[in-house]
Amino acid sequence: MSLKENFARRAERMRASEIRELLKLLDQPDIISFAGGIPDPALFPTDAFAAAMSNAVSGDAGALQYSSSEGYAPLREWLAQHMTELGVPADADNIFITSGSQQALDYLGKLYLSAQDTALVTWPTYLGALGAFNAYEARFDQLNLTGNRGADDYVAGAEAAGGAVKFAYLSADFSNPTGETVDREGRLKLIEECDQMDCALIEDGAYQALRYDGEAVPPIQALEVAQKGNLEECRTIYCGSFSKTLSPGLRVGWVCARRDVIQKLVLIKQAGDLHSATLNQMAVYQVAENLFERHIPKLQKTYAARRDAMLAALARDMPAGVEWTRPEGGMFVWLTLPKGLDGKDLLAHAVEAHRVAFVPGGAFFADGSGSNTIRLSFSLPPEDVINEGVARLGAAMRDCIGRS
Amino acid sequence: MSLKENFARRAERMRASEIRELLKLLDQPDIISFAGGIPDPALFPTDAFAAAMSNAVSGDAGALQYSSSEGYAPLREWLAQHMTELGVPADADNIFITSGSQQALDYLGKLYLSAQDTALVTWPTYLGALGAFNAYEARFDQLNLTGNRGADDYVAGAEAAGGAVKFAYLSADFSNPTGETVDREGRLKLIEECDQMDCALIEDGAYQALRYDGEAVPPIQALEVAQKGNLEECRTIYCGSFSKTLSPGLRVGWVCARRDVIQKLVLIKQAGDLHSATLNQMAVYQVAENLFERHIPKLQKTYAARRDAMLAALARDMPAGVEWTRPEGGMFVWLTLPKGLDGKDLLAHAVEAHRVAFVPGGAFFADGSGSNTIRLSFSLPPEDVINEGVARLGAAMRDCIGRS
């Protein structure tokens, strides 16, 4: 008996991330980690969730039962109102509840991508988006927001590869991994290019609520609705998440889009996992309804202080030739190292000799470039730990620069 | 601007089920519904879940945080022990936690099926399995447990269609929709055929715990381990679920399989939804650990009485020429109507004139046959309602037979 690996062709693309495997080893108390990119659990509204869970389980006969693939109606209505406040007039039929926004990316890949179709993504982009789209045997092309390339180039490249450009994907606010924000002009240009390509535009709003300073830019979807008059005429598909605002562990996110897209996603979910956990949606609805508006400023205050500490520490401790972003929100600062300094080599040395960790940037590039970049997250460690960690990182860099 | 539908090729196969749409209309108090197939919420261990949720949210800092794609370690260990008790010696590395067993089917489709590959399924089979595999552009062939066809025929058919037989899928205990069980001999024969085809064998154990009488047959996976000595040598992939035993709304299921399959599924989940909700896994673990063994007999007692009531009522009220299964467990009885009587027509008349509902059987057949079959679920209505509902169904049938 051979038990041959008779997996689908796409399974060849599924490989364990070496970074993820490495990071598993970092769960040691003497290591300062800027790797994670996870929210500080001390900021979770724990008491509110305990009360909401208890109310729902004991008070609502449906809390433990099967429920609809679209999602829990009061939560969909709350989110329609939330999107309306963000400048996207929507109703509950425009909202689809997902098990976190990662599932939105998976299902959008499933909806749009046949093998060899092209997804346009920034270089770098969210690692989880590459993973989600990769499973559908996508081809990636570089979405260039500075205008060096345009719609015609993208379409020609996609056709040459035997597919079509199906969507552009980006996070426009404090993106993972760079922390950068696309300005209004860049957003309008992107809508225009997607109009020219007649493709979808997936806006990942995972960090949207976490702005600490600077002027808020409306979501791309809001700008498109303002242009075209009605969400039903819009190609932008907005993916939102409660993971960065209320709790990641409950796995509740949403998609806001025109109805035909929502209806297809509901069919994908019926066949995918039936529905997101009923109780979780009820609890998130209760907590969001009761305290979302006053909870966000608490997050902003804490994370802004950590970002400030990290930027100050970087200015103090980075060797010459290292550059970094100045994010107005989110959880990440993105560093470009002097040429020749490799993020993976730096990580190995930093962990071994200085007990500080981060994520090498190469994994965020669809083409495997970006070896001289790294991502630091400031969301979890308090300021004094950030100071110490950045000092260690500077020392590790100087070691590596001295060697090369 | 055209907003053309530039969806993937697979999206053409995604259609709203007309049955599902019809059943949405049935949520009216005067209709007796045998349609659902959902557990009775009065049997949910509600207090135990309320306590477990409260303990977990307040007592475990990780309850609302991101967690691992493999699943919550204590739950994996509990399930490894559970599988060992079912005759499948397993350890935690053989267990992967899913968001319900529907997600297991989706991810197994994703792992095994390239377009035109063949999934062998019974005629009829679980509707959700057809939906899950269909999304990967599978071809279906009829898994014939009575031996009219065999491995060579299946392989020849798959190759003629341009693919390969990737797996056989079945529910061997009280299957949805027929309620029937595959005996030991049938299970052994199936292992032998899958060995010949060198394909996987997906055993859907969703109803496995709900046996009311008759002699228990070991899971196919247990029979295969007994033959081959070790789970790592086995092709059977067991999909389990807490939906029918503790709560469907929490969306917690599992896969038990050899490690290389588990590792691939973990990669799919990383790219799919990161992980199943942390709190839900903690709560299910606590409740399972505390009361699973003593909870199951309560379910068995209640559902057995309802099955008995339904079988007695069918014997009393069905017109001549109607045949039905006598399930030893589960939630369903499967009826074959006299030739020429169409399940969908019967449903339309039964709802309109007699206020009783069920699911027409055609949707459970991959080839669209089975129009003279229907599925009745006995899990939700109490005995007196079952009696009244079956009487109404008999009257509806007599109307239709009289007309034809």
* A-chain residues near B24 (CB < 8 A): none
Q: Is the pLDDT of residue B115 over 50?
A: yes
Cis peptide before B360 (omega within 30 of 0): no
Q: Quick one: pLDDT at residue A5? A: 74
CB-nearest to A248 from B66, B243, B247 is: B66
* Beta-carbon separation of B102 and A274 below 8 A: yes
* B-chain residues near A276 (CB < 8 A): 99, 251
Q: Quick one: pLDDT at residue B1? A: 47
Exposed, middle or buried: residue A91 (CB in 10 Å: 0-12, 13-18, 19+)?
middle
Q: Quick one: pLDDT at residue A36? A: 86
Q: Are strands A118-121 and A332-336 parallel, antiparallel or unpaired?
A: unpaired
Averaged pLDDT, A76-94: 98
Q: From B110, which residue of chain A is nearest by alpha-carbon distance?
A: A8
Which of the four pLDDT bands, split at 50, 70 and 90, describes residue A145?
A: confident
Tokens coding A129 = 């988006």
Substitution target in B3, B27, B262 with the highest count of A β-carbons within 10 Å is: B3
* Beta-carbon separation of B271 and A131 below 8 A: yes
* Beta-carbon separation of A64 and B228 below 8 A: no
Q: From B128, which residue of chain A is nearest by alpha-carbon distance?
A: A271
Q: Hey, do B15-45+294-403 and B46-291 end up sharing a CATH topology, with the first three levels equal?
A: no
CB-nearest to B38 from A3, A49, A65 is: A65
Q: What percent of chain A has pLDDT over 90?
A: 89
* Beta-carbon separation of A106 and B1 below 8 A: no
Averaged pLDDT, A173-200: 96
Alpha-carbon distance values, A243 to A103, A254, B280 (Å): 12, 11, 16
CB-nearest to B111 from A7, A41, A277 is: A7
Q: Quick one: pLDDT at residue B404? A: 66
Encode burial over A119-143: b for 16+ CB neighbours within 10 A, e otherwise: bbbbebbbbbbbbbbbbbbbbbbbb
Shortest alpha-carbon distance between residue A319 and chain B (Å): 34
Say how far apart CA B255 and CA B258 lie, in whole Å. 10
* A-chain residues near B114 (CB < 8 A): 8-10
Encode burial over B278-304: b for 16+ CB neighbours within 10 A, e otherwise: bbbbbbbbbbbeeebeebeeebbebbb
Q: Quick one: pLDDT at residue A268? A: 97
Say how far apart CA B114 and CA A12 lie, in whole Å. 12
Shortest alpha-carbon distance between residue B372 and chain A (Å): 25
Q: Quick one: pLDDT at residue A1? A: 47
Alpha-carbon distance values, B349 to B30, B152, B394 (Å): 15, 44, 12
| Distant-in-sequence contacts of B86-91, Cβ < 8 A, 24+ apart | B86/B208, B86/B218, B86/B219, B86/B222, B87/B218, B87/B219, B87/B221, B87/B222, B87/B223, B87/B225, B87/B226, B88/B219, B88/B221, B88/B222, B88/B225, B88/B231, B88/B238, B88/B256, B89/B225, B89/B231, B90/B231, B90/B256
Q: Quick one: pLDDT at residue B178? A: 98
* Beta-carbon separation of B249 and A63 below 8 A: yes
Neighbours of B355 (CB within 10 A): 18
Domain B46-291: assigned CATH number: 3.40.640.10
* Beta-carbon separation of B8 and A275 below 8 A: no
* Beta-carbon separation of B278 and A250 below 8 A: yes
Which of the four pLDDT bands, split at 50, 70 and 90, describes residue A404?
A: low
* B-chain residues near A50 (CB < 8 A): 53-54, 57-58
* Beta-carbon separation of A14 and B267 below 8 A: yes
Tokens coding B192 = 């032998």
Summarize pLDDT for A7-45 with one digit per residue, the tens. 999 998 888 776 676 667 677 889 999 998 899 999 999
Summarize pLDDT for B219-252 with one digit per residue, the tens. 999 999 999 999 999 999 999 999 999 999 999 9
- Phi, psi angle pair for A138, to nearest 5°: -75, 160
DSSP states along A337-368: PPTT--HHHHHHHIIIII-EE-EEGGGG-TTS
CB-nearest to A58 from B46, B132, B228 is: B46
* A-chain residues near B132 (CB < 8 A): 271-272
Which of the four pLDDT bands, split at 50, 70 and 90, describes residue A147?
A: confident
Substitution target in B44, B112, B198, B251 with the highest count of A β-carbons within 10 Å is: B251
CB-nearest to A64 from B6, B128, B249 is: B249
* A-chain residues near B61 (CB < 8 A): 41
Say how far apart CA B283 and CA B295 lie, in whole Å. 15
Q: From A53, which residue of chain B is nearest by alpha-carbon distance?
A: B53
Q: What percent of chain B has pLDDT over 70?
A: 97
| Domain boundaries A47-291, CATH class | alpha beta
Which of the four pLDDT bands, split at 50, 70 and 90, describes residue B216?
A: very high
CATH superfamily of A15-45+295-403: Aspartate Aminotransferase, domain 1 (3.90.1150.10)
Q: Count of A–B CB contacts within 8 Å?
A: 243
Averaged pLDDT, B173-192: 97
Shortest alpha-carbon distance between residue B245 and chain A (Å): 12
Q: Quick one: pLDDT at residue A27? A: 72
Q: From A39, which residue of chain B is nearest by alpha-carbon distance?
A: B65
**Spans of all domains in chain A:** 15-45+295-403, 47-291
Shortest alpha-carbon distance between residue B4 and chain A (Å): 7
- Provide the CATH topology of domain B15-45+294-403: Aspartate Aminotransferase, domain 1 (3.90.1150)
Q: How many CA atoms lie within 13 A of A219 on its CB side?
A: 30
Q: What percent of chain B has pLDDT over 90?
A: 89
CB-nearest to A8 from B63, B114, B199 is: B114
* B-chain residues near A134 (CB < 8 A): 271
Summarize pLDDT for B350-398 with one digit per residue, the tens. 999 999 999 999 999 999 999 999 999 999 999 999 999 999 999 999 9
Which of the four pLDDT bands, split at 50, 70 and 90, describes residue B2?
A: low
Q: Is-contact A318 A401, C-beta < 8 A?
A: no
CB-nearest to B53 from A38, A53, A110 is: A53
Average pLDDT, chain B: 95
Summarize pLDDT for B309-354 with one digit per residue, the tens. 999 999 999 999 999 999 999 999 999 999 889 999 999 999 999 9
Summarize pLDDT for A348-365 with one digit per residue, the tens. 999 999 999 999 999 999
A105 Cβ neighbours under 8 A, 6+ residues apart: A128, A129, A132, A133, A169, A202, A204, A239
Tokens coding B146 = 């009575």
CB-nearest to A135 from B44, B271, B278 is: B271
* Beta-carbon separation of A54 and B54 below 8 A: yes
* B-chain residues near A20 (CB < 8 A): 270
Q: From B103, which residue of chain A is nearest by alpha-carbon distance?
A: A273
* A-chain residues near B47 (CB < 8 A): 58
Averaged pLDDT, B151-165: 95
Tokens coding A58 = 């004991």
